Amino acid sequence: MSYHLPNNGWRVACQAFAEALRPPIQMRPSQWARENLIVPDGPRKLDRWDPTLTPFIVEPLDLTAPDSPVNTFCVMKSAQSGFTTMLLAAIGHTIALDRADCMIVQPTDSALSDFNRKKLQPTMEETPATRRAVARQTSRSASGSTIYEKRFGHFTLTLALASSSADLRSKTVQKAFLDEVDEYPIDLDGQGPPISMVEARQESFLRDGTWKRILISTPTIKGASVIEAAFEASDKRRWHVRCPHCEDELVFEFGPNFHFDQKWPHRAYYSCPSCGGVIGEQDRSRMVRAGRWIATAPAPGRSPGYHLDALSSPFVPWDKIAERYVDAAGDPQKLKAFYTLTLGVPFEMKGDAPRLETLMSRRESGLDRGHIPARGVLLVGSADVQGAGIWYEVMAVARTRETWVVDAGFLSGSTESPDAEAFVALKERVLDRAWPDAWGRTRKLDALGVDSGFRAPCVYSWTRAHQRFNPLSKGKHVVLALKGATGWNRPAIGLPVDVDVDFAGKRVHAGAKVRTVGVDGLKGVFMDDLAKEGIKSGKPSDPEGYCHFPDWLDEIYFKQVTAEYCDDEMYRGRSKRVWRQRYRDNHMLDCRVYNLALLASLGFDKMESDDWSDLEALRGAPGGEALVAMDTEGAAAAVVAQAEIAVVEPQGRKLTWREAMERRNVSR
């Protein structure tokens, strides 16, 4: 017999009372996910989660259960390793069975929006158990869900920003899922790190011990990585697999046991450190599926910590890992991405430049001031505005990322207005100057960056008034207002931001724009390049990224480019990597950092071999390996060779370098 209560307050009260008396359903989060969770993307998109594909997330997932004695753990991982699915499964289990207030914290607004739109919302809508539990999203009802607050019964799931103190102060939560913690700000509005603010939101649950806090992230810079510090303080669990030859357990690691050819196809394989047996790609999946977590540094009081890289991931072939490493060799920016995103370990930046005397001894003769060397296909310049004048550096770059100082110096004069003496000199001697190259031609800058950290209104006005457009950059601006910003996670150069406003406070259409430069990482790249040794140091060749300095540069230049070094600093109980000044003046270092940022704005890292060949041909230089192998002294001979292939058709049209070479090969 059933009795239907009228739709009034008694019914609501009775339903709440019945729900409180209902015994909890005991089901491990991994079991719930296996039976219920619909995956939003990946190889099993819109299908039920299969734990055999990512078996390594089962153990940490079950630690999020309410009866688990573990309150906190961390995951230091490579990109695309499956731990986002672990987050979704833990959230789904909480919504369907656990019923606890929880919070997801993402580093940026775009990351939070993407997580909600591409991961969380599709999962909740496609998984029947969560679709029934979560209130529909409405704009008016106080009981409905919103974009950043999902309601399930009397509980809520809050989506918060690590950069918003209001978000992190607004809720008391039992479970906190902190994603990509290495991208969180170090200090939020003077109130400390965001993780500490989240901890304060969980104090109500400290006595009964039911709180959960999970930290997940790909690492960034060694010594500045939050997830690295958390992992080092943990019991350091690694995914162990069993060798099919000797049955010993091992961990797949990038090192001497990971073998591959330097050229494609890389034919990557692993050799067992115990027996030397060859383990191929076909063995990996079976071994990983049968693996287990083992703590490599157990100790009393240590919480669980997990590390997994792409070698144990089911999504990245070993040949792809080898390809990424070979492609990154010699490029600190690519190596940083390889170590952090593929190996899931922090990247160690060079902390200091070679001694000033060492760099000065590497100066080269035959590099005339103001002349572009033979292999300098790209030409960029940067300026650092000061009160008494403007420091500048013009730099040529080869496809091998080798660089040459074409010109550098100080333009003395007032900078109080965009028409002042120093700005006029910058226009005449740098921006509008026709720079001669090794092929008898002249070129203007592909890009010019001006630091707007000082005299910002003058810089904005000058860059707007002297704008140029470059076909190489597909119509993008050549003259850029730049502003340096600290932070190891910042990109080399950001998107343009409007800075011109009218008297009403509105943005001016087609007004000045400024682009943020991630100076910390670029300084590390430059220090790494400075440490490379080439022919002048007795090596057989100059490596990729090698810095060439002409003999007309004086001690002032070298003192300024070596004016800073990287050091560790304790801040609010946490170590971080900072740049300290050795000498007062660092203008040439700033100019070089901005020049490296300009290369990123021109898409240097995205250029393929054919792109370089086309650009070299466009600029009248022999392309391909012939130019790569050429040194400065060989420029004169190359001019002769270039003249030999500059065939002219009867109609008077000059053939491109590629057309001429094809015709020359056919005639042979």
pLDDT at 553: 96
Q: How does pLDDT run across 102-140, given as a tens digit for each residue? A: 999 999 898 999 999 999 999 999 999 999 999 887 644
Rounded to 10 degrees, the C-alpha dihedral 573/577/581/585 comes to -130
Task: List the domains of the chain with CATH numbers.
Answer: 26-239+298-312 (3.40.50.300), 356-616 (3.30.420), 631-667 (no CATH)
Residue 187's CB is within 10 A of a number of other CB atoms, namely: 13
The pLDDT value given to residue 376: 93
> What secondary structure letter does DSSP report for 599?
H
- Which pLDDT score is estimated for 430? 96
pLDDT at 605: 84
Dihedral angle computed from the Cα positions of residues 323, 324, 328 and 334, in that order, rounded to the nearest 10 degrees:
160
Can you tell me whether residue 639 is helix, strand or coil? helix
pLDDT at position 375 is: 92
Q: Which two tokens stand for residue 566?
A: 């990287």
Q: Give the model's pLDDT for residue 144.
A: 58
**Residue 21: in which H helix or E strand, if any?**
helix 9-21
Spell out where 164-262 has E strands.
Answer: 175-179, 212-217, 237-242, 249-250, 258-259
- How far is 534 from 547, CA to CA, in rounded Å? 9
As a whole number of angstroms, the distance between CA 79 and CA 97 comes to 30
Q: Which of 374, 442, 399, 436 is nearest to 613 (CA)?
A: 399
Q: Report how far residue 230's alpha carbon sits from residue 76's, in angstroms, rounded to the nearest whole number.
A: 9
Beta bridge partners of 241: 250
**If you compute the radius of gyration of the chain from its CA atoms, what whole number of angstroms results?**
30
In order, the DSSP letters of 107-160 are: SSHHHHHHIIIIIIHHHHHHSHHHHHHSPPB-SS-TTSBBTTEEEETTEEEEEE
pLDDT score, position 664:
35
pTM of the model: 0.74
For residue 661, give the 3-state DSSP assignment.
helix
Both tokens of 264, joined, read 């494609």
Return the pLDDT at 647.
30
Comparing CA positions, the residue from 547, 594, 588 lying closest to residue 564 is: 588
* Contacts of 585 by beta carbon, 8 Å cutoff, 6+ apart: 559, 560, 563
How many angstroms separate the CA atoms of 368 and 635, rounded? 13
Q: Which residues of the chain have pLDDT under 70?
A: 1-25, 138-145, 469-477, 501-510, 570-575, 622-668
